[in-house]
Structure 1
Amino acid sequence: MYLGVDYYPEHWDHSLIDEDLTRMKEMGVNMIRIGEFAWHLMEKQEGNFDFSFFDHVIKKARNEGINVMFGTPTATFPAWLATKHPDILIEDINGNKKSFGGRRQYCFNSETYETYSLRIVEELVNHYKNEEAIVSWQVDNEFGHEGSDMCYCGQCLKAFQQFLEKKYGSIDELNKRWGTIFWGQNYNDFSEIPVPKVTVTVHNPAMMLDWARFRSASLAGFARKHIELVNKLKGGHQTVTTNLPGGFFDKWFDHNEFSRELDFVSYDNYPVWGGLKEPISPAHLSMTLDYVRGLKKENFWIVEELMGAQGHDIIGYLPRPNQAKAWAWHAFAHGCSNMLFFRWRGMNKGAEQYCLGILDANNRTTRKYKEVQQFFNEVKEYKTLFDSPVKSDVALVYDFDTIWSWRNQQQNASIDYTEEILRLYEPFHRQNTSIDVIKYDQDFSDYKVLLLPVAKVMDRELAGRLEEFAENGGTVVMSYRAGVKDRDNNLVFGNMIPGELSGLLGIEVEESESLQAGEAAPVVPAEGGSVSKAVSWRDLVKPLTARTLHRYDDRFYNEYSCVTENDFGSGRAYYIGAGVEGEIMHSLAKTIAENSGLKTIESNHGVEVITRTAEGKDYRVVVNHNGHEETFNSIELQPYECRIIEV
């Protein structure tokens, strides 16, 4: 088990290295991650490569028995490169070039940047391929984070046109599929197609979905070239990864397009960041970890685990004593097998002075150091447990076509895809059942329940796979706006919504309503009961073969269903046609869990219980996410305490 820190020895007087490594060893560190922002240090002038500083650092680490993950430094290029080749810089939607001074300002379609970035990687990996202390390479740093996944420059224009020509073959086919006859937008040649900069009103939705696919392909193509090069040059004892940032569904790329080619997936785990007054919810945090695990359906690494408060300019919530340690335990429970904390020491200069670490700029050993030290001493005793695979009976299924379709046509300002994921995820998480978060192209056969939030884009192939899953006894749960669009991001002529899903769900949607801020639709159980409300959206559902579980309770629409259940083969399909309140979702999830034979565990709110199995024995990892005392099965838990219990 690798336990360590992100270390930036180039930020400090070199005389501190020995002291740093000694204190790291005392804390329990056996790995450091270095180098990912040090291109200029390695190539101060074009073509003059010098790795002597890191030779010195690595030698000292090796002598202390500390292994190394080395980050290729292409996320922050040197000023001389931007000055000589400004074509490498991202251009925003208004045609303005991003300035040198931040990070990740490079265009993924810049041939110049590709050449220079691959050259520094080649020199670096060749230099260290036989270095026994370097056991892993991290490619770049947080691909596409902070808006760096979007560019509208001339290089992207040319590449987008080539992307479309390859996809459609002829301009007539593109015109047909995009429906460019509307507003007279027909093209005579691919060279006439623009990048979607600001226009009057909006761009064609089919174009915008292809633009999102192109952005994803651009990033993935760049990433793959770097992954392939490192794989070609690295030593046989070295592995390849890259660190993924959070906010997956707010990005313009699909991590699956390159992550599956890594030896293992790595993640930067920040339950709170600058500007947040409190951390994200335990369900949201669990969902992000389940997403990372779902990329390869394997355990993963965390190479940046938050310890101190964070913020580039606005500082976020201060993690309470033992809260960051609880997040670390929680990450291991959800599939992390190796962990590096960010960062060894907070920097006293530059843009991240308020991204605090284990040590602060005062260089004193305080509570945070002791907390990490205690965690390292405890977690290493459970290596076998946390190396074991995570088994889930529930899968939450996502599709980036749907995600990007929602982002381009939001339909209601309050609709957020991540929140709609959590609407389905949280009620099952609350029952402490394990959930995989996976892309729709993965195999469904090992699951009992599939959750598909707001699955707007649908095709016959995916609908057929869902039907097969239900026919074989599985349960499918879908929420509103399912099956509205085809793969070209267009409405389907002649089909009642939910289109391809109508047979599976046993319904038709006659009309829909976007519920604006402050609006709510009353919803009641079909057999009568207390009124709850739905927000953001409602589909007016007409059952065909489905049974009504909840209906609307207003004057004009009380004959329409809101939540339905349909038998299909040996299984069932549920449709949640509105943004219903949590009480409805929790009750429905409990019923589904009972009917599907899911293993659930009752616990108090904020107490999460994750079941893991190793060497034929079952264990429960119990995490108290609350800032107050709790109990689980008569066991007293202190604020933010974690217990591992053999069942």
Structure 2
Amino acid sequence: MYLGVDYYPEHWDLEIMDHDLKRMKEMGVNMVRIGEFAWHLMEKQEGEFDFSFFDAAIRKIKEYGIHIMFGTPTATFPAWLAKKYPSIFIEDENGQRLSFGGRRQYCYNSVVYNELSLRIVEKLVEHYRDEEAIVSWQIDNELGHEGSDLCHCPDCHKGFQEFLEEKYQSIDALNETWGTIFWGQTYNSFEEIPVPKTTITVHNPVLLLDWARFRSLSLSRYALKQIELVRKLKGSHQTVTTNLPGGFFGKWFDHNEFSRDLDFVSYDNYPVWGGLKEPVSPAQLSLTLDFVRGLKRENFWIVEELMGAQGHDIIGYLPRPNQAKNWAYHAFAHGCSNMLFFRWRGMNRGAEQYCLGILDANDRITRKYKEVQEFFHHIQNYEELFNSPLKADVALLYDFDNIWSWRIQRENPLIHFSEEAVRLYEPFYRLNVNIDVIRHDWDFSGYKVIVVPILKVTDPELAKRLEEFTEQGGVVIFSYRAGVKDKNNNLLLGEMIPGPLSGLLGLEVEEAESLHEGQSAPIISKEGHMGNASIWRDLIRPTTAEALYRYDDSFYKEFAAITVNSFGKGKAYYIGAGVEQEILHRMAEDIAMLVQLDTMKTSPGVEAVKRQTKNQQYLVAVNHNGYPESFEGHELKPYESIFFEIGSGHVLKKI
């Protein structure tokens, strides 16, 4: 098991390294991550390569028996490169070229940047391919983060046109699919097609979805070039990864397109950041980790685990004593197998002076150091447990085409795919059921329950696979606005919503209403339970489905709000409105009983994650609350995690 810190020896005098490394060893560090922002140190002038600084740093690190993850330095390029090749910079939707000074300002389609960045990677990996201390390469850094996944420059414009020509083959086919007869936007050639810079009103939604696909391809193509180059040149003892930033569903790229080619996926885990007055909810944090695990359906690394408060200009919430350590335990419970904390010592200069680390600029050992030390010394005893696979009976499906369609046409400013995903994830999470968060193309036949949030764009092939899953006894749960559009991002002509899902769900949506801030609609169950719907409501006419809830206002009493349809041996649920979370909780409990999920009830804020090695079952209990909680006869202190062995009769033995 690798446990360590992100370390930047170039930020300090080399003379301080012995002082740092001695304390790291005492803390329990056996790996440091270095190098990902140091291109200028390696190539101070174009074509003149010098790795002597890192040669010296690595010699010193090896003296302490510490392994290394080395980052390729392509996320921040030297000033000389920016001055000589200004075409490499991102151009925004207003035609404004970004300037030197931040990070990741480069265009993924820049021929010049591809050439020069791959050259430094080649020289770096060739130089260290036989270095025994370097056991892993991290390509770039947080690809696509902070808006760096979008560019509207001439290289992107030309690449987009070529992408469209390859996809559609003829301009007539594109015009037909896009419906360019509308607003007189018909094209005579691919050379006439714009990139979606700022315009009056909005661009064609099919153009925008194709643009999103092109953006994803651009980033993934660049990432794969680095992955393939490093894999070709690296030593046989070295692996390849990259570190993913959070906010997955808010990105203009599909992480699956390159992550599946990595030896393992890595993630930067920040439950709170500058501008947030409090951490994200435990359910959202858990869903995020389950997403990372779902990219390869394998355990993953965390190479930046928050310890101190964070922010570039605005500082976020200060993690309470033991809270950040508890987030680390929580990450291991959800599939992390190796962890590096960000960062060893906070930097006293530069843009991240307020991105605090284990040590602050004062260089003193304080509570944070002691928490990480305690965590490292404890977690290293459970390598077998946290290398074991995590088995889930429930899966949440997503499709980036659908997510991008929602970002292109919101329909209601309250609708965010990320929030809707958490709404459907949370009821099963509260039952302490393990959940996989996976792209729609994974085989999901082995699960008991499939959850599908707001699937506006629906692929008929996916609809067929979900029918087969349900026929065989599975349960599938859809939320509102399913089956509205085809894969081109166009409405379905001559079909009732939910289009290809109509047979599975046994219903038709006659009309729908967007419920804005402050608006709601009353609903009532067949047993007489009252509730409210917000955000959206589909007015549903069941065909073969049974109405579980109906609307209870004077105009729409005849329409269903929530339905269930028996289909083969299984059932398909449709939640046609933004109903209250308590209703979803009751539904999840009923479904869990129906398919015999292994559930466990805990207090709100207390999570119990089941893990299994070859010979033993375990349970990790996590208290996300800042106050004590009782769990199965044991006290959980504020922000405490406890491991249990599960004995016969499900007796828990604290270990």
Shared fold, TM over 0.5 = yes
**How far, CA to CA, are the matches of 1:496 and 1:616 in structure 2?**
52
* 2:275 aligned residue: 275
Task: For 2:219, give the aligned amino acid.
Answer: L
**How far, CA to CA, are the matches of 2:580 and 2:46 in structure 1?**
59
* 1:157 aligned residue: 157
**How far, CA to CA, are the matches of 2:128 and 2:564 in structure 1?**
59
**How far, CA to CA, are the matches of 2:238 and 2:102 in structure 1?**
30
- Structure 1 residue 477 displacement after superposition: 0.2
**How far, CA to CA, are the matches of 2:270 and 2:116 in structure 1?**
31
* 2:605 aligned residue: 606
1:292 aligns with 2:312: no
Stretch moving more, 131-140 or 454-463: 454-463
* 2:96 aligned residue: 96
* 2:426 aligned residue: 426
1:584 aligns with 2:586: no
* 1:257 aligned residue: 257
Q: Deviations over 1:5-38 (max 9, x none)?
A: 0000101122111110100000000000000000
- Structure 1 residue 283 displacement after superposition: 0.3
1:83 aligns with 2:108: no
* 2:54 aligned residue: 54
**How far, CA to CA, are the matches of 1:465 and 1:543 in structure 2?**
22
- Structure 1 residue 271 displacement after superposition: 0.3
**How far, CA to CA, are the matches of 1:342 and 1:147 in structure 2?**
22
Task: For 2:368, give the aligned amino acid.
Answer: K
* 1:220 aligned residue: 220
* 1:404 aligned residue: 404
- Structure 1 residue 83 displacement after superposition: 0.3
- SS where residue 10 of structure 2 aligns? helix
Q: Is the 8 A contact 2:3 2:376 kept in 1?
A: yes
**How far, CA to CA, are the matches of 1:172 and 1:527 in structure 2?**
55
Cα RMSD of the aligned pairs, angstroms, is 0.5
- SS where residue 231 of structure 1 aligns? helix
Task: For 1:606, give the aligned amino acid.
Answer: G
Residues 382-393 of structure 1 aligned to structure 2 (within 5 Å):
382-393=382-393
**How far, CA to CA, are the matches of 1:48 and 1:22 in structure 2?**
34
* 1:311 aligned residue: 311
**How far, CA to CA, are the matches of 2:214 and 2:110 in structure 1?**
14
- Structure 1 residue 533 displacement after superposition: 1.1
Task: For 2:590, give the aligned amino acid.
Answer: T
**How far, CA to CA, are the matches of 1:450 and 1:440 in structure 2?**
10
Q: TM-score, normalised by structure 1?
A: 1.00
**How far, CA to CA, are the matches of 1:231 and 1:160 in structure 2?**
28
Q: Is the 8 A contact 2:308 2:357 kept in 1?
A: yes
- Structure 1 residue 185 displacement after superposition: 0.6
Task: For 1:556, give the aligned amino acid.
Answer: F
1:180 aligns with 2:194: no
Task: For 1:3, give the aligned amino acid.
Answer: L
Q: Deviations over 1:217-241 (max 9, x none)?
A: 0000000000000000000000000
- SS where residue 295 of structure 2 aligns? helix
Q: Deviations over 1:418-445 (max 9, x none)?
A: 0100110000000000000000000011
Q: Deviations over 1:537-588 (max 9, x none)?
A: 1000110100111111101011110110000000000000011110100000
1:542 aligns with 2:541: yes
Residues 490-569 of structure 1 aligned to structure 2 (within 5 Å):
490-529=490-529, 531-569=530-568
Q: Is the 8 A contact 2:122 2:229 kept in 1?
A: yes
* 2:441 aligned residue: 441
Task: For 1:63, give the aligned amino acid.
Answer: E
* 2:243 aligned residue: 243
1:632 aligns with 2:631: yes
Which consecutive segments of 4 or more residues in structure 1 shift more than 2 A?
none
Task: For 2:447, give the aligned amino acid.
Answer: Y
**How far, CA to CA, are the matches of 2:255 and 2:295 in structure 1?**
8
**How far, CA to CA, are the matches of 1:380 and 1:498 in structure 2?**
50
**How far, CA to CA, are the matches of 1:616 and 1:213 in structure 2?**
45
Q: Deviations over 1:332-387 (max 9, x none)?
A: 00000000000000000000000000000000000000000000000000000000
Residues 325-364 of structure 1 aligned to structure 2 (within 5 Å):
325-364=325-364
Q: Deviations over 1:618-641 (max 9, x none)?
A: 111000000000010110010001
**How far, CA to CA, are the matches of 2:527 and 2:607 in structure 1?**
33
- SS where residue 457 of structure 1 aligns? coil
- Structure 1 residue 184 displacement after superposition: 1.0
**How far, CA to CA, are the matches of 2:81 and 2:557 in structure 1?**
65
Task: For 1:421, give the aligned amino acid.
Answer: A
1:74 aligns with 2:74: yes
1:570 aligns with 2:569: yes
Q: Is the 8 A contact 2:502 2:508 kept in 1?
A: yes
- Structure 1 residue 459 displacement after superposition: 2.0
**How far, CA to CA, are the matches of 1:528 and 1:24 in structure 2?**
62
Q: Is the 8 A contact 2:536 2:577 kept in 1?
A: yes
Task: For 1:198, give the aligned amino acid.
Answer: T
- SS where residue 645 of structure 1 aligns? strand
Task: For 1:628, give the aligned amino acid.
Answer: Y
- Structure 1 residue 150 displacement after superposition: 0.2
Ranges in structure 2 where 5+ consecutive residues have no aligned partner: 647-655
**How far, CA to CA, are the matches of 1:189 and 1:275 in structure 2?**
46
**How far, CA to CA, are the matches of 2:584 and 2:548 in structure 1?**
12
Task: For 1:432, give the aligned amino acid.
Answer: N
Q: TM-score, normalised by structure 2?
A: 0.98
Task: For 1:157, give the aligned amino acid.
Answer: H
- Structure 1 residue 527 displacement after superposition: 2.6
- SS where residue 194 of structure 2 aligns? coil
Q: Deviations over 1:179-221 (max 9, x none)?
A: 1111111100000000001111111111100000000000000
- Structure 1 residue 528 displacement after superposition: 1.2
* 2:640 aligned residue: 641
**How far, CA to CA, are the matches of 1:218 and 1:441 in structure 2?**
21
Residues 8-87 of structure 1 aligned to structure 2 (within 5 Å):
8-87=8-87
1:139 aligns with 2:139: yes
**How far, CA to CA, are the matches of 1:88 and 1:551 in structure 2?**
56
* 2:365 aligned residue: 365
Stretch moving more, 219-228 or 11-20: 11-20
Task: For 1:2, give the aligned amino acid.
Answer: Y
**How far, CA to CA, are the matches of 1:638 and 1:200 in structure 2?**
56
- Structure 1 residue 534 displacement after superposition: 1.0
Residues 192-211 of structure 1 aligned to structure 2 (within 5 Å):
192-211=192-211
- Structure 1 residue 615 displacement after superposition: 2.5
* 2:480 aligned residue: 480
- Structure 1 residue 523 displacement after superposition: 1.2
Q: Is the 8 A contact 2:14 2:57 kept in 1?
A: no
- SS where residue 296 of structure 1 aligns? coil
**How far, CA to CA, are the matches of 2:561 and 2:615 in structure 1?**
44
**How far, CA to CA, are the matches of 2:94 and 2:230 in structure 1?**
36
